[in-house]
Chains A and B, each alone.
Chain A
Amino acid sequence: MAKVHVTTTINGEPMEFLCEPSDTMLDALRGTLNLTGSKEGCASGDCGACSITLDDRLVCSCLMLAVESEGHEIRTIEGMAQGDKLHPLQQKFLEMAALQCGICTSGMLVASDALLKKNPDPSEEEVRFWLAGNLCRCTGYDKIVRAVMETAAEMRAQ
């Protein structure tokens, strides 16, 4: 089958790539574009390890076709820090030990960032429900929820 040519924007950079029509966005990111920060935990939309944003909307890249990124704007974990300056969420995850093995961390950060953009002052319950699509087997979520809430508070104070 002939490959499809896709023109898109990833983390602010114009990008072109070829893919099979059946390739997922996660396949394209990891396999073709070598952006392996997004992880595959399930390939069925149940773990959130592959979370990215498509035009600022949080999506599971394993559930999206690569061709659907044509003309749109994709953001991944690799685009979260500004140069060598970490995003406040990244910094807070480090300070508050909100990661253990780290495999869920990219997805957690991308999802938390999407939450704070929508709702800069989420309640604990709102954080928990927003992150319910991101599985973490190591932390029991406690430290992750605290880190997100604390980042939100600091960002509001600025």
Chain B
Amino acid sequence: MNLVTNNKWIGQRTIRPDGMDKVTGRAQFAADTTMPGMIWGKVLRSPHPHARIRSINTAKAEALPGVKAVVTSKDIVDFPIEKGAVMLGIQDMRWMCRNVMARDKALFPGHPVAAVAATTEAIAAEACKLIEVDYEVLPWSIEIDDALKPDAAILHEFNKFDGKPSNIAGRLEHKKGDIAEGFKKADVIIERTFTTRPVHQGYIEPHACLISVAPDGKTTIWSSSQGQFMVRAMTSMLTGIPQSDIRAIPAEIGGGFGGKTIVYLEPLATLLAKKSGRPVKMVMTREEVMRATGPTSGSKSTVKIGATKDGKITAAHGTFYLQAGAFPGSPIRGAAGCSFTPYDIPNLLSEGFDVCSNRSKVAAYRAPGAPIGAYAVECVLDEVAERLKMDPLDFRLKNAAREGTKAAHGPVFPRIGYVETVEAAKASPHYAAPLGDGQGKLRGRGVASGFWFNAGGESSAQVNITEDGNVVVTTGHPDIGGSRAGIANICAELLGIDYRRVSVIIGDTQTVGFSNLTGGSRVLFASSMVVTQSTEKIIQTLRERAAKIWEIDPEAVKWEDGAAHPVSPNAGQFEPLTLQQLAEKAPAMGGPIGAGVQLNTQGADGGFGTHVCDVEIDVDLGIARVIRYTAVQDVGRAIHPGYVEGQLQGGVAQGIGWALNEEYIYTKEGKVDNPGFLDYRMPVCSDLPMLDCIMVEIPNPKHPQGVKGVGEVPLVPVMAAVANAIYNALGKRFYALPMSPPKVLEVLEAPTQQAAE
């Protein structure tokens, strides 16, 4: 391993390469772009949660002056159900083709039914109203319990569970040891059931795209997403245009958190552009975002944990039912696979059930599934620790997974940093500080831990030296949270030059090799690997060229501080040759200097975090506020500490929203009743305290700079930490999220402890 030490730029809070554009308003997000001759697309959406589409008549809409094209499901490539799964990453195209446009049935209110392109947005919206859809309204269910009733309306008849048509689309389990035996050994057993509501990723930038299709089929897509290659592949599959004819250009992305890992508008806009012969722009309204994209699952989880008197967990059983929305695919792997992983539990059964119901198809949201599972598990752990009269962090330490522990989902852990996060939380000034006087308000403190798998996968990079001796790095994944800054630090470090001489570009699909999504906490892990290898190739070239000039052996040349030097006086006495000098000599020395590397990167270590949360509760109003928060995480190596902290703080803020306020509320007609930022209440600045971070750095031995993914773990423990803090304040426990003021009041007024359901 070639771990860079004595760093000049790695670990520094440098200024990000795209920063200037973003603070001056110059950065181009998808909705900021226009093209000559551009027209506007709009989507007609189902008003019903569940309805058979008998027919669609678009004649009146097509006749409206200004309308240039109308598309329906007939125009989209069908992936027939009977023919079996067609996977693209984790997405099955059979569902994708039905999610972008309803085929035989509309499955949630907001499900696209047709799309129109017209010369203005207003005409397109008007034309949508002229489309006549003949619906046969069907019974529906939104909540898990309703979808599982024996007489529930079945969304997909072909879907069988236990041999019968069912809304359960899948089950997965992780198993270790024998839980019956394990529970027999326990002195304390606690079993609880928890529910959570769906929450939206809440990125501030609505989905948008601009697409042009030339008469020869050459297609240019300008859109914000977590992966331009995903956009190209899905659009190609859903429109039939070959991938080689589609150029997907990544606009800046205004937040994603997993919610922009699939397409919604791009296939529709492409078909409208193809039919009309004009570039088509589509931008969702906030209401469309809330009704028809994301969110993540609501859930119902039952967790049972048994431990001996001296604090050893002997057995655990978790059952996690997650809402998939209209199509199979809820993140049960995250819930069942992550929630017990911080612990070494000899006997374990963790089961996940994927449940369809008539709400929009869920999309990934930061460590998909894991926060839901951790909420249930970490709350029960808290109860067990209390029953055993143990400090909750000591209880975790006693049962912590370490190097050599076999996780239920398969791997035997290498050197991991979980224990260090618990120890750092315990040693933090926060954990030692008294809670202080709430002046009539009740205060409490809670802790919780979390795990996320982290990912590697395919990445490509190209590093080129400019003729004036600076550096351009091109990578293939959109930069959501500052990854360009990390890349610039690493490349400058390796070359020994000022980081401002490195420009980092996100390439489009036709200019850089395939790169997988920005997701799974994989981007800096994977992209720095390919950038490192590309830069090392370049350094090799530079050494060879210096060697040629000096007429010595390339092995006798070293690269240091941005220049070639003889390795020792024995190699000869030469003035160093700088990157600039070698770049200027390039034409005579073999030509341009550049290198590209493509890899399927491996060796991403899992990520662990432990959080400490203080709350203060106004018992008259039922308002719970987080007043102090510390997030501890093993980050491997903080390449740019500012943006690592930002990931931690952002995840915590989202978790606090999920814990205290955010939820989808439905009308009795089965429609989302709060599809805007006023009623879907995300945390605002005045809701939060400063958020402290402790970065534990245990380098990943399989990565050249020791990087581990950091973006997802920060959301995993938050709801449990807040719930445990609220319990500590009130002596009453919540078994449902969000813990919003009306629900807090309900619990405060309830006579018994378990009445919080």
A135 neighbours in B (Cβ, 8 Å): 204, 677, 682, 684
B667 interfacial contact with A, CB 8 Å: no
B687 neighbours in A (Cβ, 8 Å): 132
Q: In chain B between 651 and 684, which residues have their CB closer than 8 angstroms to a CB of chain A? A: 651-654, 676-678, 682, 684
Nearest B residue to A136 via CB reads B204
State whether A36 touches B643 (Cβ < 8 A).
Answer: no
CA gap between A100 and B254 in the complex, in Å: 9
B686 neighbours in A (Cβ, 8 Å): 125, 128-129, 131-132
A-B contact sample (5 more), CB < 8 A, given A40-B31, A100-B480, A102-B23: A36-B28, A101-B254, A103-B29, A124-B690, A135-B204
A44 interfacial contact with B, CB 8 Å: yes
State whether B643 touches A128 (Cβ < 8 A).
Answer: no
Q: Which residues of B contact A (CB under 8 A)?
A: 13, 15-16, 18-20, 22-29, 31-32, 34, 201-206, 252-257, 283, 285-286, 480-482, 485, 640, 642-643, 645-647, 649-654, 676-678, 682, 684-688, 690-691
Pick the most buried of B28, B643, B647, B650: most chain A CB atoms within 10 A of its CB.
Answer: B650
A44 neighbours in B (Cβ, 8 Å): 286, 676-678
Residues A47 and B204 in contact in the complex (CB < 8 Å), given A100-B650, A101-B254: yes
State whether A37 touches B25 (Cβ < 8 A).
Answer: yes
A12 interfacial contact with B, CB 8 Å: no
User: What is the CB-to-nearest-CB distance from B701 to chain A, in angstroms, rounded to a whole number?
Assistant: 28
State whether A102 touches B202 (Cβ < 8 A).
Answer: no
Point out the residue from A30, A97, A99, A131 that lies within 8 Å of B32, measured CB to CB. A30
Nearest B residue to A46 via CB reads B677
B482 neighbours in A (Cβ, 8 Å): 97, 100
Top-8 shortest CB links A-B: A37-B25, A103-B254, A97-B642, A140-B649, A140-B653, A102-B22, A46-B677, A77-B25
Nearest A residue to B480 via CB reads A101
User: What is the CB-to-nearest-CB distance from A89 to chain B, in angstroms, rounded to a whole number?
Assistant: 8
State whether A96 touches B642 (Cβ < 8 A).
Answer: yes
User: What is the CB-to-nearest-CB distance from B448 to chain A, in angstroms, rounded to a whole number?
Assistant: 17
User: What is the CB-to-nearest-CB distance from B430 to chain A, in angstroms, rounded to a whole number?
Assistant: 15
CA gap between A76 and B26 in the complex, in Å: 12
State whether A105 touches B642 (Cβ < 8 A).
Answer: no
A sample of 24 inter-chain contacts (CB < 8 A) reads: A36-B31, A36-B32, A39-B205, A41-B677, A44-B677, A76-B25, A77-B24, A86-B20, A95-B13, A97-B645, A99-B19, A100-B482, A102-B22, A102-B254, A103-B254, A109-B23, A132-B684, A132-B685, A132-B687, A135-B684, A137-B204, A140-B646, A141-B685, A143-B649
A133 interfacial contact with B, CB 8 Å: yes
CA gap between A140 and B90 in the complex, in Å: 29
State whether B691 touches A142 (Cβ < 8 A).
Answer: yes
Pick the most buried of A133, A138, A144: most chain B CB atoms within 10 A of its CB.
Answer: A138
Residues A95 and B286 in contact in the complex (CB < 8 Å), given A101-B254, A135-B684: no
Nearest A residue to B285 via CB reads A43
The prevalent SS among residues of A at the interface is loop
Point out the residue from A30, A37, A38, A139 that lies within 8 Å of B649, measured CB to CB. A139
A53 neighbours in B (Cβ, 8 Å): none
State whether A142 touches B690 (Cβ < 8 A).
Answer: yes
A64 neighbours in B (Cβ, 8 Å): none
Point out the residue from B16, B286, B481, B691 that lies within 8 Å of A42, measured CB to CB. B286
State whether B642 touches A101 (Cβ < 8 A).
Answer: no
Point out the residue from B24, B34, B643, B677 that lies within 8 Å of A100, measured CB to CB. B643
State whether A144 touches B19 (Cβ < 8 A).
Answer: no
A101 neighbours in B (Cβ, 8 Å): 203-205, 252-256, 480-481
